[in-house]
Amino acid sequence: MFLEKLLAPGKKEQVVIEGLTKHIKLLCSAIEVFERGLKNKELMDDVKELEREADIIRREVISRIYDGAFLPYLRPSLCKLTELVDNVFDFLKDAAYLYQILKPQGLMQKDVDQVASLNLEMCRMLLISFEALMSGGDLREKALAIRVYEKKIDDIKFDLLADLRTIPVSDFWEGKTLSDFVSSLTSISNVIEDASDYLQVINVSLR
């Protein structure tokens, strides 16, 4: 087990592990709600509520880590992992807000739906990877899957950017809203990949 390699399991460590697990699970739920919100904009308000809940979890996890959970050399990586998950929430919240104020863009919708679906698959794989790390499992295939998902989203991003150039907008701000939405939506996968990389860092440091 992960903890057995570090020290006798303690309450602080267990609270951190449970908090990180809850944090990532909540992110998966938020991305799933976002995906449904693409067909019902009212659901995007739920994404914002989940982001606020996640912020409470993040503060608790960081507090426990700095309160002495885990050995000192692991704490920065665990804090960074927590912050990266929080960064995904920030991009997701921004994308949810921007989508609510967007005018319907049928030209982009298929690609947007596909990116949202891939983001969800990446988040689920991140959760699987974290749970594998906690149980001493192999992360290599899971990290590879996350990179494959991220590459697919990068490819779709280029299509979305091409679409943006052909969509008529009424003014600068409408165009900026569209551009910011695409940027927020496609940045989620980059940060999930970064979080996966930090799991690898933690894994290597335990050898």
CA distance 55 to 101: 24
Query: pLDDT tens digits, residue range 58-70?
Result: 999 999 998 888 8
**53, burial (CB in 10 Å: exposed 0-12, middle 13-18, buried 19+):** middle
Q: Residue 80 maps to which CATH number?
A: 1.20.58.220
Q: How many CB atoms lie within 10 A of CB 55?
A: 15
Q: What is the pLDDT of residue 107?
A: 64
CB-CB contact of 47 with 96 (8 Å): yes
CB-CB contact of 182 with 140 (8 Å): no
For the chain, what is the domain count?
A: 1
CA distance 66 to 28: 26
- Domain, as residue range, for 185: 3-205
CA distance 66 to 64: 6
The whole-model pTM stands at 0.92
Query: pLDDT tens digits, residue range 33-66?
Result: 999 999 999 999 999 999 999 999 999 999 999 8
